Structure 1
């Protein structure tokens, strides 16, 4: 891939579908309660990149190159579910900003944000029932349980320096990879292409893992302005991400003084000198390990993708995996 491929280029492969879907995300809200509409609109318009619906649209077209109203609606539903998880995340993390804009909990309050997040999940299922497709409904209801469990698991391991890589993988499976899997497998279920579910699931699972690992590495190397959050935020929140887990593992055997420093920071969430701790992570060699893990996951995602129908939509999904790992450079 040429390094000039941008997210917008990939989006343009399904530009018409994407434009219709983007309007549907808000158009399908339809609450009688003014505040629900207001908060939902605020959150949805704070718009992210809409990557999950993009994955749904690319997958649907990869399997059958026609415009499908159902695929566009399903894509809008995945975005609605994703938005709900972000609203709840911001409450849990007590975040004041997301992507540089005030969060719902900061603009209104926690109670409002939680309830509107609940509404977005309920409305997603309300719309899913309309497909009259039980396997699809099961995929999404199982997946939404997994997402909720992933969030609780993350909370359970917050401020726990004993968290292992295995725990971390369980957390990100629920937190990130699951919705990617729903986005791809859902598109196949709409078309009754059950024989592709395993390969699509493997692609989405590994891509989701890679995506989250890359995000967690960038928390220690990225640019705060680009990331929309401060470096080391995960550390201050006591979130045991892979770079922190790995750094603790390395220091435990080689540098007990710094191990204690980092361990106490994770346990207490009191980070007096974030710069010093970020430097510890950067110098430990943990980030090289994490980058390698992310690239391994990317390769596994690409291997699964190579078993799927070959066309420009598959190429679009491939480019998404490349674009994600290019952030590590």
Structure 2
């Protein structure tokens, strides 16, 4: 299923803020947010210090918000189990960010020092491991084999996605199919876990496929949009410099498509970008960013992001129609509005 840019682009006037969407489940969200911290119980003080540091530096808690919206969509009553699962989902997400920062040798995330920069790589990796182990320790408490299955399968897929990304690092021959395999694991899988976990808790497993489709396509769109903004966004808002993904040799769709387009239209530009991907050396970063922008790659990526958004929105149509489903729909609009 595809959609045109004209049909899929949201009107910036009609898109609610993230705070507006969060307010739909405000009470649940507040309790969940406290549980993220309250679930830490290590006897080792360093583990507690580092865990609290990385959780405090966390973002908007979008994945747990999705869990809470899904749970309420099926049963409009407070669910302690859903809040607890949402907190566990955020704990897993935080662990993946800690490991990402070590791999990328990042010194800052969202304008704050990373764990690896504040302590060291070994400490950050081990605390990331602890957060994953603690998450599964808490998952056992639900006494639900289907829930454990979804989260264990999903965590394996996340790890595989990260390894695939590493495997294709500095690889100018990486394809769009390679890219989709990477983001299906490292990004979209956790969105799928956030939605499907809520369905299992609320005994609504007949919606598992639709929720999985929503999570996958929304996650794909979310990551493509992030990667587009690496070439066109506001570096201060993003908390990183434009072109950082290129310098790190990450196989992102804007670079992959730019290489494909430049190969046929601009051999000199193609060779410059290819060497930059292979070596990670970008002394002429502005020129390389301009190459990607002028190639037509970003327009293609925006179209792909909006196609994925439309597929996510289509999946929602089979779910119960209420304000919580509308909240999920609004999250897709909010993500797409970042392209404007």
**Is residue 2:239 matched to residue 1:228?**
yes
Task: Tell me the distance in 2 between the aligned counterparts of 1:277 and 1:122.
Answer: 41
Task: Tell me the distance in 1 between the aligned counterparts of 2:210 and 2:110.
Answer: 33
Aligned to 1:325: 336
Task: Tell me the distance in 2 between the aligned counterparts of 1:102 and 1:3.
Answer: 35
Q: CA deviation at 1:120?
A: 0.1
Segments of structure 2 that go 5 or more residues without pairing to the other structure are 1-10
> Pairwise mapping of residues 35-184 of structure 1 onto structure 2 (< 5 A)?
35-184=46-195
Q: After the TM superposition, list the runs of 4 or more consecutive aligned residues in structure 1 that deviate by more than 3 angstroms.
A: 1-4
**Is residue 2:45 matched to residue 1:29?**
no
Q: TM-score, normalised by structure 2?
A: 0.96
Q: CA deviation at 1:255?
A: 1.1
Q: CA deviation at 1:240?
A: 1.2
Task: Tell me the distance in 1 between the aligned counterparts of 2:233 and 2:327.
Answer: 25
**1:285 aligned to which of 291, 296, 317:** 296
Residue 148 of structure 2 aligns to a residue whose secondary structure is helix
Residue 77 of structure 2 aligns to a residue whose secondary structure is coil
CA contact (8 A) 2:15 2:330 kept: no
Q: Deviations over 1:76-125 (max 9, x none)?
A: 00000000000000000000000000000000000000000000000000
> Pairwise mapping of residues 265-284 of structure 1 onto structure 2 (< 5 A)?
265-284=276-295
Q: CA deviation at 1:4?
A: 5.3
Task: Report the RMSD for the aligned CA atoms in angstroms.
Answer: 0.7
CA contact (8 A) 2:169 2:249 kept: yes
**1:259 aligned to which of 270, 274, 277:** 270
Task: Tell me the distance in 2 between the aligned counterparts of 1:257 and 1:284.
Answer: 13
Task: Tell me the distance in 2 between the aligned counterparts of 1:114 and 1:296.
Answer: 36
> Pairwise mapping of residues 12-27 of structure 1 onto structure 2 (< 5 A)?
12-27=23-38
Task: Tell me the distance in 1 between the aligned counterparts of 2:74 and 2:252.
Answer: 35
Aligned length: 329
Task: Tell me the distance in 1 between the aligned counterparts of 2:172 and 2:74.
Answer: 44
Residue 262 of structure 1 aligns to a residue whose secondary structure is helix
Q: CA deviation at 1:5?
A: 1.1
Q: CA deviation at 1:3?
A: 3.7
Task: Tell me the distance in 2 between the aligned counterparts of 1:202 and 1:171.
Answer: 17
Q: Which structure is richer in relative contact order (CA contacts within 8 A, separation 6 or more)?
A: 2
Task: Tell me the distance in 2 between the aligned counterparts of 1:302 and 1:5.
Answer: 16
Residue 121 of structure 1 aligns to a residue whose secondary structure is helix
Aligned to 2:306: 295
Aligned to 1:205: 216
Q: CA deviation at 1:234?
A: 0.3
**Is residue 2:227 matched to residue 1:216?**
yes
**Is residue 2:230 matched to residue 1:240?**
no
Q: Deviations over 1:294-328 (max 9, x none)?
A: 00000000000011000000000000000000000
